Structure 1
């Protein structure tokens, strides 16, 4: 059986400053925690520093290229199966690393998977945006997270949940890459809760 875990790699990059209006101290703290465990070597974005400009926090992170979402738009969703496998394998490695340190990402989407350098390192990707991330111990039933199109059933139903919700979301990403469309297209929380039922009819 093929393993979905790949060796953790460390690659040097340029630096960019990202001023994010929604950056919270909790998000910055989570990224620092991940860096302490060297998870930037496991396909997770590297945080270098946080700075305050006019009392607004900005993250100093590695410079990446383009989101998987935008790449799929540019290529009209035409991706070879071997390239899909490469992306999913790297993200599975990232999620396995997060699970080892007891963290749920909470928002795995094509927007939050970034290509490192599509010319020099085709389909080398990293997981970004930890604004919804939490420790597994903070996962309480009824808590709403994840983008509706990627939302796991246990989140919709208010049931106990764990790191497995990220695997569900990654499966949705794989579906988009394979078929060229969202498996559960929706724009609202209500529609998201009905999609699995509609798809069974």
Structure 2
């Protein structure tokens, strides 16, 4: 038996356990075949759809009003995105069904494989053949940029692109899908100041500047560097140390951005010296960025790849390419050996 335990609730519904028995049928349609795992606000199971014969992923949302509301927002966005991509061309998760069952919201979607963070970790620790070769990184990049170009064309910003939110559809064909629109927003919305997971957060977000779809491009640059090396490019000890690493690896932040940033004062003195408060002594300490380069940080990458990542990691968002512009970069048309399936 797979015990899917809901949180102790705070006035949303009665506290109840959601017990899912292997081979049991949910809502007269979805036969449980496997427990897949848990996330912050949901548990996931694999099920066989008795109506269509397909294997699907069923997300059981924890019984909490905030989780419920956020999931409804994601459902609305997935429906909107899927409606505009009926042929499933743009590498985004497909939503099949959703319903309320035993006082829980259940979301039925496309069954995919491991996320890129988990798969990269497994690939590295297993000691097998390296999966993330230049041809495969090129293919993954094109798919992610096509997904972003499509989202951005609809006026949407993903806002949380990271390896955990890119899932493998086929290992042999190197097909991926972008998931998790739970943090996404329309460019016309009142934009939240706290977006993106920290290691993938664009400088303009950290500095409290207005932002747009270009923040997703920055995140993709960080992801590609990580897939190439197995290491996070900008470690997330704190926003100040992250900025120090950005400056050390990519280069200085334009004075214009520092002057206009609403939160610049949290990390820079009036003379634009980077600082951080020492948590032990409560004293302000100057941070000196350690000078290095993408070439040094990406020793496994070829020059075309390094040039491309540098293209995505333009500190100034006005100089950073759009998804469409990035797709025209010469590295993406470099004739590597075909990916064997």
- How high is the TM-score relative to the length of structure 1? 0.84
**Relative to structure 2, which stretch is displaced further, 15-24 or 38-47?**
15-24
Match of residue 102 from structure 1:
155
Whether contact under 8 Å (1:148, 1:187) holds in the other structure is no
Q: Secondary structure at the match of 1:19?
A: strand
> Does residue 99 of structure 2 align to residue 46 of structure 1?
no
Alignment map for 1:71-150 (pairs within 5 Å): 71-76=119-124, 78=130, 79-118=132-171, 121-138=172-189, 140=191, 143-150=193-200
User: How many residue pairs align between the two structures?
Assistant: 186
Comparing both structures, which one devotes a greater share of its residues to helix?
1
Whether contact under 8 Å (1:149, 1:187) holds in the other structure is no
> What is the aligned counterpart of 1:185 among 209, 231, 235?
235
The structural deviation recorded for 1:99 is: 0.8
The structural deviation recorded for 1:43 is: 0.2
Alignment map for 1:154-173 (pairs within 5 Å): 154-173=204-223
- How far, CA to CA, are the matches of 2:146 and 2:89 in structure 1? 10
Match of residue 71 from structure 2:
24
Pick the structure with greater CA Rg. Answer: 2
Gaps of 5+ in 2: 1-53, 250-288, 291-341
Q: Secondary structure at the match of 2:173?
A: strand
> What is the aligned counterpart of 2:55 among 14, 34, 47?
14
The structural deviation recorded for 1:196 is: 2.1
Which string of whole-angstrom CA distances, capped at 9 and with x for unpartnered residues, describes residues 12-46 of structure 1? Answer: x7322112333422111111111111174300000
**More RCO (CA 8 Å, sep 6+):** 1
Q: Secondary structure at the match of 2:124?
A: coil
Q: Secondary structure at the match of 1:44?
A: coil
Match of residue 33 from structure 1:
80
Match of residue 332 from structure 2:
none
Q: Secondary structure at the match of 1:138?
A: coil
Match of residue 106 from structure 2:
58
The structural deviation recorded for 1:194 is: 4.4
- How far, CA to CA, are the matches of 1:187 and 1:57 in structure 2? 35
Match of residue 7 from structure 2:
none
Aligned-CA RMSD value: 2.0
- How high is the TM-score relative to the length of structure 2? 0.51
